[in-house]
Structures are given as structure tokens and as C-alpha cells.
Amino acid sequence: GESVGLHLPTLSVQEGDNSIINCAYSNSASDYFIWYKQESGKGPQFIIDIRSNMDKRQGQRVTVLLNKTVKHLSLQIAATQPGDSAVYFCAENIFQGAQKLVFGQGTRLTINP
Amino acid sequence: GAVVSQHPSRVICKSGTSVKIECRSLDFQATTMFWYRQFPKQSLMLMATSNEGSKATYEQGVEKDKFLINHASLTLSTLTVTSAHPEDSSFYICSARVPGSYEQYFGPGTRLTVT
């Protein structure tokens, strides 16, 4: 949905642990979802995507789960590393006259040594 | 993978002046590019959709006469912030959509500071 947050939710995990970042989306007609990673002062970097006809997709150390019933998306990062510290955004693809992405509010992930 | 560049990466300008930001897709042709704005500790907000050879489509609340968008070629879109004011200070990010796909690849962003 539209992001209106004034501060980012944060998640701190120990290096080597698994992390789960959650996202609620707003449009039940959304057909495509993407997770992006954004480091400070940089543009978003594609991590993994999933289409609405799937409920799970795995990549290298990352897994995305989609629950369309409750409009919920999650990103699981296995064996977190210091380089995983960043802000993570989910985005949903919607059609409002044209295809566009709507970003969630984001979650700041901090990896503790 | 697809690469998108932006120039400049950082710009400081005085209030009342105009600033142009360029967005280029380096290794693919993009008929559609997007411009986003991001304030500190907030998410990306779509400002407008830039279509090659036609007028841009602006999101509600975005002034088209203030944020001029030109998509003159399949690899270049420009955003001009006209008569900039301090409240226009933000991180501006462009993206380009891979033709025939939903995927968008993002540029590195441009930090605009208006003094």
C-alpha cells in the first residue's frame, strides 16, 4: 500500500542467525511482488520477486513467502551476514491506468556481530 | 544485469534555481522509466511515469509544471526541478522497466539539497 511511515521499523539479529522481515500489502489485485534492499545513500537493489500464482520462491540465502489470504509477504534471510544490514522494502505491482510499483514502509535490518 | 545510471549523484542549488537530473538505462532500451522521491527514513514515493515519446503521467499531488519530465530517447529520461525550494530537498531515484516485464531496475539516486 501507500507508505506513510515517519520512522522505519527495525529488526536486529545476530550474525549467522536467520531473519524474517514482514510486509502487508493493500491491493488484492496485485499480481507481482518484489523485495528490494537499500543501503544508505543508494538506490534500491532487487533481491527476489514472486508472482501471485506462487506462495513461495527461493533464491540464494533468501526465501519469499506470499499469503494472499491475509495479503502478507515475508522475506527470510538465512545465515545473516554484516553485509545484509540495510533497509528492506517490499513492493507490489498494481495497475492504475498503467503498471506501477507501490512500496511498503520498509524495515531496517541491523546485523550484530 | 540491467544497469541504470543517474547524474549527478549529488547537487546543491540555491532557492529559485532549476536543477536537471538525468536517468539512463545503460544496457537496455526502456520505453518506460519512473521517478521517485524519498525523504529521510521514509519509503519511495512514485512521482511520475515517463514514457518515451509521450507526456509523463504524474501521480496525484505532484505538480507537473514544477517537476518537468522529458523522455526523449529509449535510454534517457530527465527530471527538471524548476524554481527549487528547500522543501524540494530530497533523494530522487529513477528506475527503468525492462520491456515486456514487470521488473524495474533502479538508479543510484540523486541527493538534491536546496539552500
Q: What is the pLDDT tens value at each position of chain B, 115 positions in all?
A: 689 999 999 999 999 999 999 999 999 999 899 999 999 999 999 999 998 888 899 999 999 999 999 998 999 999 999 999 999 999 999 999 988 888 899 999 999 999 9
> In whole angstroms, what is the distance from residue A104 CA to residue A73 CA?
11
Q: In the prediction, which pLDDT does A5 show?
A: 42
> In whole angstroms, what is the distance from residue B88 CA to residue B18 CA?
11
Chain B residue with minimum CA distance to A8: B41
Interface check B46 vs A, CB under 8 A: yes
Q: In the prediction, which pLDDT does A7 show?
A: 65
Partners of B95 on chain A (C-beta within 8 Å) are 43
Partners of B34 on chain A (C-beta within 8 Å) are 100-101
Mean pLDDT for chain B? 94
> In whole angstroms, what is the distance from residue A77 CA to residue B80 CA?
39
Question: Are A101 and B104 within 8 A, CB to CB?
Answer: yes
Question: Are A3 and B34 within 8 A, CB to CB?
Answer: no
Q: In the prediction, which pLDDT does A60 show?
A: 94
Q: What is the pLDDT along chain A (113 residues), one digit of tens a residue?
A: 334 344 689 999 999 999 999 999 989 889 999 999 999 999 999 999 999 999 999 999 999 999 999 999 999 999 999 999 999 999 999 988 888 999 999 999 999 98
What pLDDT, in 10s, does the model give residues B50-71?
A: 988 888 999 999 999 999 999 9
Q: In the prediction, which pLDDT does A96 show?
A: 84
Q: In the prediction, which pLDDT does A50 show?
A: 97
Q: What share of chain A is helix, strand, coil (3-state, %, to 5)?
A: 5, 55, 45
Chain B residue with minimum CA distance to A3: B43
| Nearest CA-CA partner of B91 in B110, B108, B105, B106 | B110
Question: Are B44 and A103 within 8 A, CB to CB?
Answer: yes
Long-range contacts of B47-55 (CB under 8 A, 24+ apart): B47/B79, B49/A98, B49/A100, B50/B77
Q: In the prediction, which pLDDT does A4 show?
A: 38
